[in-house]
Amino acid sequence: MFDISSDQFQLNPNYRLQYEDAQECHVLLYPEGLVKLSETAVAILTRCTSPTNGIDVIAGLQRTYPDAESLPADVMEFLIDAQSQSWIVAVED
Of 24 and 39, the one with the shorter C-beta distance to another protein is 24
With CA atoms as reference, report the closest residue to 15 among 91, 89, 92. 89
**Closer residue to another protein in complex, CB, 71/91:** 91
Count of residues engaged in binding another protein, rule: CB under 8 A: 17
Distance CA 52, CA 5 (A): 10
Pairing outcome for strands 88-90 and 16-20: unpaired
The one segment of 15-23, 45-53, 62-70, 73-81 that binds another protein by CB under 8 A: 15-23
Any bridge partners for residue 33, and if so which?
30
DSSP 9: E
Note whether 31 binds another protein by CB under 8 A. Answer: yes
Residue number, 21 or 69, with CB nearest to another protein:
21
* Rounded least distance, CB 14 to another protein, Å: 5
